[in-house]
A = this chain, B = another copy of it.
Amino acid sequence: MVSREQHDRMANAIRFLSMDAVEKANSGHPGLPMGCADIATVLFTRFLKFDPKAPHWADRDRFILSAGHGSMLLYSLLYLTGYEDMTIDDIKNFRQLGARTAGHPEYGHAAGIETTTGPLGQGIANSVGFALGERIMNAAFGNDLVDHYTYVLCGDGCLMEGVSQEAISLAGHLKLNKLIVFWDNNNISIDGPVSLADNTDQVARFQASGWNATHIDGMDPEAIAYAIEAARHSDKPTMIACKTTIGFGAPTKAGTNKAHGSPLGAEEIAGARKFFNWSDAPFEIPADVLAAWREAGKAGSKPRAEWEGRLAKSDKKAEFERRMDGKLLPGLDKVIADYKKKLAADKPKVATRKSSEMALEVINGFLPETIGGSADLTGSNNTKTSQTKNITPDDYGQRYVHYGIREHGMAAAMSGLTLHGGIIPYGGTFMCFTDYARPSMRLASLMGIRSIYVMTHDSIGLGEDGPTHQPVEHLAALRAIPNHNVFRPADATETAECWQLALENQKTPSTLALTRQNLPALRTEFVAENLCAKGAYELASAEGGEAEVSIFATGSEVEIALGARKLLQEKGHPTRVVSVPCFELFFAQDKAYREKILGKARVKVGIEAAIRQGWDEIIGTEGIFVGMTGFGASGTIEQLYPHFGITAEAAAKAAQARLAGK
């Protein structure tokens, strides 16, 4: 038990590292670390289960800094508690190019950064996935191996973002009682007092969503400790509203928005040194304080060693480690190959949303780590299989999450599930509503984690629901996100192959764009190779000579491409068809492969029921594009495709005209 004086000095170490690093970088956010140093000190010295010498310890407590702009709080804690990859030089290099200590915490830059935060609301929404992941893995592996808490520090901004409502209502529903959120209730936002824009009673709001919530003095260590202790023994998630002073200690800027997002300046820092009676030079931590912090950092080594002992003795050791490492069970290849053989024989004419369900039936039967879900479109997204029963507060040992009408919260929770480890989450909604989920999908791409988004109703082919529900720009918009694979399979076999690729790509999230409407089987011969793995391949070759026309298409439009080929062949124009299930993988192939697939036909045609943007790289700026030029319309699918000119006849006619030199 540390004395109050020792606590204060330990907390002040965070405050000074933060102000000094921001000052040196001449950029950053000193206010939050200074206001929340007490919370962090109590949490890290008395409660948090972690071991800086084994930072990836699977059963560690997770600490999520949802208010990511306060990154210096986290970096200070990692340095002070003795994480080996966070040195004082890293602190001094805060916000410099190549430093671990990026402006906002970046997952993968240093151990102890559990998720990338900064865009507000994301961390608290991720944390629902972390806390649910803990319960799921606990159900699978027992208390001996999985029994930890998820702590979150969030600010006013996180709670004003809508995604926080999706997160807290989902966490309350699932009774994630090991989720504990500190709200840095400092009354200040960037523009000034929070009351400029918000008067929400946050405690009442959380209570309305099934949480414990309570107000405390967030700078009183004993009040903080008492609240955490109570939270740890509750049957609900807990929100602790911590009254703090932003930039605490800065003589004139404390308690104002001037302490939020800019260096305090030499004068304020000098004043703070005086206020805290802290005479040490920038980046110098008094030996006794550093020693106390390092000692606190050692507290986890014994429980960690005990846990290692339990793991060593467990008959679930190998499976636990495999899952936490994110390695797939060996043999998925064969399972998929067998399934593809069956498809080649059955030749099912089904929507790709249905063939996704069929593939999932096989995958979920083989891999225990997949956890499915949908944002209240289960029957439409076809995300539920025989193996996936509902996860409920009474049974976390199941494999399906009813995420509710919360696309954004779903995607954020999926990131948390992935980051927790042991789980491959997939979740569905309509393709059009990727717009709602986009901020979290982007962060998954930036982090390089394996979340799989099952996005059905992927074009005007959904019909009568109309342009509000018909994606036209979403394929392009998703392809624009770096490190994000967008798969648009053309039949059941391609769907199976794309699912395999999504599972195998551990460092890249995937979106599967799937149809509402039925599609014929196009891959009617079994091929062991995953033809989708190179992103594009020749599905039908030209007959009767060198190809005059190459038609490139994705998903539901591959059938149309084959129809156009038939018409062109009948007119004596040798025509080939290339299926392009994944642009990203195709562009990653070597030049020889790309050139082979692009081919040398005089006329190139692209067909996709979406906008052209991004297609020039395949068909060239002179290529013919058959697709959408604006929003869709409400009507039957039989009306819409001809209405928008996306037909085999239109494609063939355009190619013929071009061949004729028109």
Hey, which bits of chain A sit against chain B, CB under 8 A? Answer: 25, 27-28, 68, 95-99, 102-104, 106, 116-120, 156-157, 160-166, 169-170, 172-173, 189-191, 196-202, 204-205, 207-210, 374, 376-380, 390, 402-409, 432-433, 435-436, 438-439, 442-443, 445-446, 463-469, 472-473, 476-477, 479-483, 611, 613-614, 616-617, 620-621, 629-631, 633-636, 639-640, 643
Residues of B within 8 A of A438 (CB): 435, 438
Residues of B within 8 A of A120 (CB): 405
* Most central of A205, A407, A620, A633 by chain B CB within 10 Å: A205
- Interface-centre pick from A446, A473, A611 (highest chain B CB count, 10 A): A473
Min distance, Cβ A620 to any Cβ of chain B, angstroms: 5
Q: How far is the CB of A37 from chain B (nearest CB, A)?
A: 22
Q: Are B162 and A163 in contact (CB under 8 A)?
A: yes
Asked if B613 and A479 make an inter-chain contact with CB atoms under 8 angstroms apart, the answer reads: yes
Q: Is the CB of B162 within 8 A of A630?
A: no
Known contacts A103-B466, A160-B166, A208-B205; A633/B97 CB under 8 A: yes
Structural contact, B613 and A613, CB atoms closer than 8 A: yes
Q: With A464-B28, A617-B616 in contact, is A376–B157 under 8 Å at CB?
A: yes
* Contact partners of A468 in chain B: CB under 8 A: 68, 103-104, 106, 116-119, 443, 446
Contact check, B635 vs A96: say whether CB atoms are below 8 A apart.
yes
A611 to chain B, nearest CB (A): 6
Q: A162, B164: Cβ atoms under 8 Å?
A: yes
In whole angstroms, what is the CA distance A436 to B482 when docked?
18
Query: Given contacts A106-B634, A197-B404, A616-B616, is CB(A629)–CB(B482) below 8 Å?
Result: yes
A199 touches B170 (CB 8 A): no
25 A-B residue pairs with Cβ-Cβ distance under 8 Å, sorted by A, are: A95-B635, A96-B634, A97-B633, A102-B633, A104-B469, A118-B465, A118-B466, A118-B469, A120-B405, A157-B376, A162-B165, A170-B198, A173-B200, A196-B390, A198-B404, A199-B210, A201-B208, A201-B209, A204-B208, A443-B468, A446-B631, A480-B611, A482-B629, A482-B630, A614-B614
10 new A-B pairs (CB below 8 Å) besides A197-B376, A482-B611? A104-B634, A169-B200, A173-B199, A173-B200, A191-B377, A196-B390, A197-B402, A200-B208, A204-B204, A472-B482
Q: Chain B: which residue is nearest A438 at the CB level?
A: B435
Q: A9 CB to closest chain B CB, in angstroms?
A: 29
Kindly identify which residue among B25, B196, B379, B476 contacts A402, using a CB–CB cutoff of 8 Å: B196
A189 to B473, Cβ gap below 8 A? no
Known: A480-B611, A634-B99. A191 touches B119 (CB 8 A): no
B163, B169, B477: which contacts A198 (Cβ < 8 A)?
B169
The minimal Cβ–Cβ distance linking A69 to chain B, given in whole angstroms, is 8
Contact of A161 with B481 in the complex, beta carbons under 8 Å: no
Q: Do residues A476 and B197 form an inter-chain contact, with CB atoms below 8 A?
A: no
| Contact partners of A405 in chain B: CB under 8 A | 120, 156-157, 160-161, 189, 197
Instruction: Give 8 closest A-B pairs by Cβ, nearest first.
Output: A162-B162, A97-B635, A197-B404, A165-B165, A118-B468, A102-B634, A616-B616, A204-B208
A27/B464 contact (C-beta < 8 A), A97-B639, A169-B198, A433-B119 known: yes
Choice from B376, B407, B620 contacting A190 with Cβ under 8 Å? B376
With beta carbons under 8 angstroms apart, the residue of B102, B200, B472 that contacts A172 is B200
Partner of A209, one of B157, B205, B483: B205
B172 close to A161 (CB less than 8 A): no
Q: Which residue of B lies closest to A614 (CB)?
A: B613
Q: Are A172 and B199 in contact (CB under 8 A)?
A: yes
Contact partner, A95, options B169, B464, B643, Cβ 8 Å: B464
CB distance from A345 to the nearest CB of B (A): 33
A96 near B636: Cβ-Cβ < 8 Å: yes
Q: Which residues of B lie under 8 Å from residue A160 when comparing CB positions?
A: 166, 169, 376, 404-406
Q: Chain B residues with Cβ under 8 A from A435's Cβ?
A: 119, 438-439, 442
Instruction: Report the minimum CB–CB distance from A115 to chain B (whole Å).
Output: 11
- Residue in contact with A621 in the complex, picked from B479, B617, B634, CB distance below 8 Å: B617
Closest to A407 in B: B161
**Of B117, B207, B442, B633, which one neighbours A204 at CB under 8 angstroms?**
B207
A402 partner residues in chain B, CB cutoff 8 A: 191, 196-197
Q: Which residue of chain B has the shortest Cβ distance to A156 in the bound complex?
A: B405
Given contacts A197-B170, A379-B190, A464-B25, contact A406 B161 (CB under 8 A): yes
A621 cross-chain contacts in B, Cβ below 8 A: 616-617, 620-621
Q: A119 to nearest B CB, angstroms?
A: 6
Complex alpha-carbon distance, A616 and B119, angstroms: 31
Shortest A225–chain B CB gap in Å is 27
Contact B200 A210 (CB under 8 A): yes
Please measure, in the bound complex, the distance between the C-alpha atom of A98 and the C-alpha atom of B467, giving whole angstroms: 12
A198 neighbours in B (Cβ, 8 Å): 169-170, 173, 404
Residues of B within 8 A of A25 (CB): 464
Give A198 to B464 CA distance when docked, in angstroms: 29
User: How far is B504's CA from A326's CA once the two chains are assembled, in angstroms?
Assistant: 54
Bound CA span A160–B407, Å: 10
Question: Which of B28, B408, B443, B469 has a CB less than 8 Å from the CB of A162?
Answer: B408
A448 nearest CB neighbor, chain B only: B631
Q: For A189, A190, A390, which residue has the most chain B Cβ atoms within 10 angstroms?
A: A190
Bound Cα distance A163, B162 (Å): 5
The interface residues of chain B lying within 8 Å CB-to-CB of A196 are: 390, 402, 404
Question: How far does the Cβ of A176 sit from chain B's closest Cβ, in whole Å?
Answer: 13
Least distance between A122 CB and chain B CB atoms (Å): 9
Which B residues touch A116, using CB under 8 A?
468
A190 to B377 alpha-carbon distance, docked (Å): 6
Question: CA–CA, A542 to B224, complex, Å?
Answer: 68
Q: Are A473 and B469 in contact (CB under 8 A)?
A: no
